[in-house]
Structure 1
Amino acid sequence: MADIISLGCRLNIAESETIRAMLGNRDTVVVNSCAVTNEAVRRTRQAIRRARRDRPDSEIVVTGCAAQIDADSFATMPEVNRVIGNADKLLPAAWASEEAVVVSDIMRVAETAPHLAASFSEHARAFVEVQNGCDHRCTFCAIPYGRGNSRSVPAGSVIERIAGLVDAGHREVVLTGVDLTSYGPDLPGTPTLGQLVERILRHVPKLERLRLSSLDSIEIDDRLFSLITGEARILPHVHLSLQAGDDMILKRMKRRHSRAEAVRIVERLKAARPDIAIGADLIAGFPTETEDMAANTRALIADCDIVHAHIFPFSPREGTPAARMPQLDRALIKNRAARLREVAAAHRDAWLNSQIGSRRRILIERPGERGHAGNFAEIRLPQPERIGDIVEVTITDAKDGMLIGTRA
């Protein structure tokens, strides 16, 4: 039976389910790789070697961003049978091919499509790709070279896909993309992400919970803002691609927002919907970062009330402008990332403790004794519930970075 090892983003999770459906009972292990940092590439190689040890006679296929960016390095690994690129991994012809390396030019890909998996067998939530690729060139990021230019899925196809998932029993859907808020300019009529969300909610009335994956804060327009803050079926959880809390570092990253703009959008979101939980990606130790600059990013945790922080130590990706900038010592980068995580963990713990005594509706996930609330707080239950159900719980405690709940 095909086994899929999915690393990295929610988009990979969505694509992995399509690959699983295509391969069926084929004796294959697929490593769907990530290339967001050097550490992600290292973990990909680690997963490949572990897969070969666990399944010595199976075909090992590597795909995903790391495979797209550096196919030759994976093709030469003795554990690997085949390498398939991001532009090819959802095409049956690529899996039927006997070529050792099937990697097309990702920059020539002009369209994308929602995936065809009938359900998400390993996940209570269903992930639906509505956008892929990125037209921006942040100085630290190699992902555009793994995903190509920005392209969007027509709304009709997205709605049809989500309706099928809801009919199959999924009660929460997550919209995914590489640069989700850039949805639409390549489609007729240039729709926006807000317009897409409106159409989903209108045409799939049985959809109970809609979650949005990472958003670029500067691209949250009035329509999308109104939906996030005023539509009950959109869950009160926003994950923002912030990256840093210092204006000079943001400029050197080639980000399009300032620190003040990031703080302002969060203040507006929380004023309009006080229960909304903020997540963010943050990079520690970017080239030229001084201690004062690092302190500005640490302060952003409180200033933007970030309770779901994804923190990355800076990793110079070959071929990116940031890799050619003056680098900080690796030990200093590691130290700054650790300090940033400490600040984030303390802020998160305080937020979790504030949830005690509240009542939350949670979607039950594998193995049945845990789930996530609408604000994406992870909640553990004393006894298992049926996976995929939504249950209401009372929060009784906070421990080890998650909440403890009992049936209300």
Structure 2
Amino acid sequence: MLFSIITFGCQMNAGDSEWLARTLRGMGWEEIPPDKAAKADVVVINTCSVRKKPEEKVYSLLGRLRDAMRDNPRAFVAVGGCLAQQAGEEFFRRFPQVRLVFGTDGAAAAPQAIERLAAEPGLRLSLLDFAERYEPRERHWPDEKVASQAFVTIMQGCDNFCAYCIVPHVRGRQKSRPAPDVLAECREWLARGATEITLLGQNVNSYGQDASGDGTGFADLLRDVAGLPGLRWLRFVTSHPKDIAPEVIRAFAELDNLAPKLHLPVQSGSDRILSLMGRKYDRARYLDIVARLREARPDIALSTDLIVGFPTETEAEFRETLSLMEEVRFESSFSFLYNDRPGVRACDIEPKVADAVKTRRLLELQALQERLTEEAYAAWVGREIEVVFERGSRKDGPGDAPSLAGRDPYGRVVNVALPTDAVKREEDLTGQTARVTITMAKKHSLNATLAEAPWLR
């Protein structure tokens, strides 16, 4: 049986999709890529409803799949994730090829549901109930090479209820995964060849601060994972500024393998807008966190999320966001136009900012971010840095030389030109580490040549 998974949205969704794919492969299914999804017996769409555009893309995709899958009457679609939690069995009414709808807590039972649906063609199933505690997931490990980078979910849901955010409504209240289970999965990844682990959660800084917690705080979990043999880099996303503890900040100074990169969503530079958003910190508090992070790790690279055009945002308040960006000098950011999401408090805040004004502000903000990114990247030209290779590069090396893409400790993509015989000497360089010299800064990546690579000797 063939399956394909198409993923929209955040890194949490990507992690869920990776687990589901690995589990189905372990159960004997064969995976085919998303661009060949119409040939699959089961297409799983992992959805996002945090913003309007991914939601629209899901409905458009379902329409195309309905037509493409007509030649295979046993083929069906499973819709999971946040939009599935939000729209529920409405998918059954609108799309006859949808036979499974599973919410964020229902993902743990999705592989068995897919197996059952493949055996019972007339059946439809929905898995939409929220669980009171973190639902354990079976871990299947097919006999195959694992990627160097592993993603490990440590919690589900969120208790913050920011005024613009649908996450607590579609992912439920916060539920922390027991620390021994997290550590067991991390050990399994490392034993199978992974060298880098990213811990995932809606708000990892509040890990353990709920009824599902076992007394382990996030700083303690970081130290426990960082101490596992074979781990080269430890990362985590996403952090809420109001919950970042001094112990977590100190970890950047004390843990050698905690990567010097942090995604710390600020959303706005205006205190009034932050208050309307329900973020529970102000500009001064955010800048104090940044200062303490840079005191702990002076070279730390910061990225963020920004919302443009929140209801009632004035031009002066938008300028406060630009000035914050200049002051912090984010290396990258994800920026979005505000739009109402069903059931959130911001729907009732008036007046709304006109679409044309929001668009103009977004373009100005993104132009500023491009400049900040280019300046940050340009500062690395001529310097050496360590890179872990991940895949073949989209940028070929000079002449006929092979080229590989990797990431540095800060999470930047680095395209590395290799000696012409490197591939002959080492068939698979994925996961290998090398020191490289940065030769060129691009808009969103760096080019480099090898400085030192023991595996090429």
Interval of TM-score (by shorter of Structure 1 and Structure 2): over 0.9
Moved more, 228-237 or 358-367: 358-367
2:98 partner SS = coil
TM value normalised by structure 2: 0.83
- Equivalent residue in structure 2 for 1:30, among 22, 44, 47: 44
Instruction: From 200, 213, 219, give the equivalent of 1:194.
Output: 219
**1:48-101 deviation line (CA, Å, top 9, x unaligned):** 345556655342211111111112443313553432222212214433454434
Distance in 2, Cα, partners of 1:86 & 1:234: 29
Paired amino acid for 1:45? Y
1:3 corresponds in structure 2 to 4
Gap change, CA 1:52 and 1:406, over 3 Å in 2: farther
Whether contact under 8 Å (1:15, 1:115) holds in the other structure is: no
Measured at CA, do residues 187 and 109 of structure 1 come closer, stay the same or move farther in structure 2, by a change above 3 Å? closer
Q: Name the stretch that deviates more: 377-386 or 317-326.
A: 377-386
> What whole-Å deviation, never above 9, does each CA across 1:324-351 have from its counterpart, x for those lacking one?
2121111211221111111111111100
Residue in 1 that maps onto 2:409: 374
Distance 1:336 1:237, change over 3 A: same
Q: How far, CA to CA, are the matches of 1:349 and 1:166 in structure 2?
A: 34
Return the alpha-carbon distance in structure 2 between the equivalents of residues 157 and 406 of structure 1: 40
Partner of 2:399: none
Is 1:230–2:264 an aligned residue pair?
no
Separation in structure 1 between the aligned mates of residue 162 and residue 86 of structure 2, nearest angstrom: 17
Specify which of 382, 387, 403 is matched with residue 430 of structure 2.
Answer: 387
**Residue of 375, 378, 390 corresponding to 1:365:** 390
Is 1:118 the equivalent of 2:141? yes
- Provide the rounded CA distance (Å) in 2 between the counterparts of 1:46 and 1:190: 45
Aligned to 2:105: 87
Q: Which residue of 2 aligns with 1:309?
A: 333
Q: Given that residues 74 and 83 in structure 1 are in contact (C-alpha distance below 8 angstroms), is that contact kept between their aligned partners in structure 2?
A: yes
Correspondence 1:148 to 2:172: yes
CA pair 78-104 structure 1, distance change in 2 beyond 3 A = closer
CA distance in 2: counterparts of 1:272 and 1:193, whole angstroms: 17
Distance between the aligned counterparts of 1:377 and 1:85, measured in 2? Answer: 33
Q: In the alignment, what sits opposite 2:441?
A: 398
* One of 53, 60, 63 as aligned partner of 2:77: 60
CA contact (8 A) 1:86 1:147 kept: yes
Q: Deviations over 1:311-332 (max 9, x none)?
A: 1111110111111212111121
The SS at the match of 1:363 is strand
Distance 1:378 1:47 in 2: 30
Q: What percent identity do the matched residue pairs reach?
A: 28
- 8 Å CA contact 2:176–2:213 kept in 1: the answer is no
Aligned residues: 406
* Matched-pair contact (CA < 8 Å) for 2:7–2:46: yes
User: Is 1:109 paired with 2:144?
Assistant: no
1:21 aligns with 2:22: yes
Deviation at residue 164 of structure 1 after TM alignment: 0.5
**Structure 1 residue identity aligned to 2:163:** T
Q: Deviations over 1:109-135 (max 9, x none)?
A: 322446625389785411000011001
**Contact 1:359/1:395 (CA < 8 Å) preserved in 2?**
yes
CA contact (8 A) 1:11 1:177 kept: yes
Q: Is the 8 A contact 1:18 1:115 kept in 2?
A: no
Going from structure 1 to structure 2, the CA distance change for 1:114 and 1:312 (only over 3 Å counts) comes to farther
Shift in alpha-carbon separation, 1:168–1:109, aligned structure 2, 3 A = same
Structure with higher RCO (Cα < 8 A, 6+ apart): 1
Calculate the TM-score normalised by the size of structure 1.
Answer: 0.93
Cα gap change, 1:115 to 1:178, in 2 (>3 Å) = farther
C-alpha displacement at 1:44, in angstroms?
Answer: 2.4
Q: 1:316 to 1:233 in 2, by over 3 A?
A: same
Which consecutive residues of structure 2, in runs of 5 or more, have no partner in the other structure?
A: 31-40, 118-122, 394-403, 452-457
Evaluate the alpha carbon distance shift between residue 262 and residue 53 of structure 1 in structure 2; reply closer, same or farther with a 3 A threshold: farther
Structure 2 counterpart of 1:407: 450
Q: Give CA deviations for 1:3-27 in whole Å, capped at 9, x if unaligned.
A: 1112111111221122113333262
Question: 1:113 & 1:303 partners in 2: Cα distance?
Answer: 43
Task: Note if contact 1:362-1:373 (Cα within 8 Å) is conserved in structure 2.
Answer: yes
- 2:106 is paired with a residue whose SS is coil
Cα gap change, 1:176 to 1:97, in 2 (>3 Å): same
Give the aligned partner of residue 211 of structure 1: 235
1:125-164 map, 5 Å: 125-164=149-188
CA deviations over 1:272-318 (Å, ceiling 9, x no partner): 21111001011011000000111111112122221120111111101
**2:272 maps to 1:248:** yes
Amino acid at match of 2:3: A
User: Any conservation in 1 of the 2:226–2:255 contact (CA below 8 Å)?
Assistant: no
Indicate the larger mover: 186-195 or 317-326: 186-195
CA contact (8 A) 1:10 1:176 kept: yes
**Residue 106 of structure 2 contacts residue 129 of structure 2 at CA under 8 Å; is this kept in 1?**
no
Matched residue type, 1:191: T
Structure 2 partner of 1:167: 191
> Could you say if the C-alpha distance between residues 364 and 50 of structure 1 is closer, same or farther in structure 2, counting changes exceeding 3 Å?
farther
Unmatched tracts of structure 1, length 5 or more: none
Structure number, greater radius of gyration:
2
SS of residue in 1 equivalent to 2:107:
coil
Q: Name the SS of the counterpart of 1:95 in structure 2.
A: helix
- Shift in CA distance, 226/102, structure 1 to aligned 2, threshold 3 Å: same
